[in-house]
């Protein structure tokens, strides 16, 4: 197979290698999933949550072998998990960009092949 040529192919190749050079190493503690907060009332008539927003309850949602998992997260862990989720998302986005450039280069290669 012959490499595609032209300014579009050059642009995609340059972007691909730029992303590859800047691609962080796989974050050892990175996470893929989402962290969210819910507010619930406890039901005690004398608690402050009766008139307020309720108590914070954090959870982390992720997929394993096609099944959704949700785990409770203590409030003191939230900042650490937010950082780890950001690392995972950054890595995933960079890899997706490389694969998108590869797909664009393949499309150009198929367009430019001799008939």
Residue 104 resides in a domain: yes
Cα torsion through 43, 46, 50, 55, rounded to 10: -70
- Host domain of residue 74: 7-112
Q: Is residue 52 part of a domain?
A: yes
All residue ranges of the chain with pLDDT < 50 are none
State the Cα–Cα distance between residues 36 and 56, nearest whole angstrom.
10
Judge whether 86 lies within some domain.
Answer: yes
Phi and psi (nearest 5°) for 59? -140, 150
Q: Tell me, yes or no, whether 36 lies in a domain.
A: yes
Query: Is the residue at 88 inside a domain?
Result: yes
Domains contained in the chain, number: 1
Which residues face 39 on adjacent strands? 56
In tens, the pLDDT along 4-29 reads 778 888 888 888 888 888 876 788 89
pTM as predicted: 0.74
- Let me know if residue 2 belongs to a domain: no
Taking alpha carbons only, the member of 58, 104, 65 closest to residue 81 is 58
Residue-level pLDDT at 24: 67
């Amino acid at each position: 197979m012959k490499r595609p040529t032209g300014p579009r192919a050059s642009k995609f190749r340059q972007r691909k290698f730029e992303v590859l050079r800047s691609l962080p190493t796989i974050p050892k503690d990175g996470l893929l999933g989402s962290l969210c907060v819910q507010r619930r009332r406890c039901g005690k008539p004398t608690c402050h949550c009766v008139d307020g927003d309720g108590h914070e309850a954090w959870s982390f949602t992720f997929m394993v072998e096609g099944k959704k998992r949700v785990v409770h997260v203590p409030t003191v862990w939230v900042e650490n998990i937010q950082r780890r989720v950001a690392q995972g998302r950054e890595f995933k986005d960079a890899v997706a960009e490389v694969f998108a450039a590869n797909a664009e280069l393949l499309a150009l290669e198929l367009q430019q092949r001799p008939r």
